[in-house]
Amino acid sequence: MRPGGALEPVASTSRSGQRRTVTRVQTGVRMEKRILLVLKALAGTLDLSLGDLLEGIVLHSFAGKAPFSQETRAKIEALKQVYGLDLSAEHGHRLRESPGGRGAARSKR
């Protein structure tokens, strides 16, 4: 972000080598804690920012493609064990906030 909160265009390179300029925005998305821990650790092992990893996952999903190679899926399984993540795709859209979880992350106004 530029001083004053202005958005900053970012150049990215596709697999074809074509550079695209995009505008990124800060977001305050809430996510299950262990999922976030696995994603952050995975981004680190792949030398990506968390945002770059999430963009890649979403763009692959939008195209109906698997976002990860077999090798990366093995890394994910290992990280899930490290962080105790026992959720799977079948749990998607069926999670609910634990009591006190929502308010605990909010700051006082």
Give the model's confidence band at 17: pLDDT under 50 very low, under 70 low, under 90 confident, else very high.
confident
Q: What is the pTM of this model?
A: 0.75
CB atoms within 10 A of CB 52: 15
CB atoms within 10 A of CB 93: 6
- Packing angle between helix 70-83 and helix 33-45, nearest 10 degrees? 130
More confident residue, 98 or 70: 70
Strand partners, 20: 12
Whole-number pLDDT of residue 73: 97
Give the model's confidence band at 108: pLDDT under 50 very low, under 70 low, under 90 confident, else very high.
very low
Beta carbons of 43 and 52 less than 8 angstroms apart = yes
Share of the chain above pLDDT 70, in %: 78
| Structure tokens given for 82 | 């490290």
- Give the whole-angstrom CA distance, residue 82 versus residue 46: 17
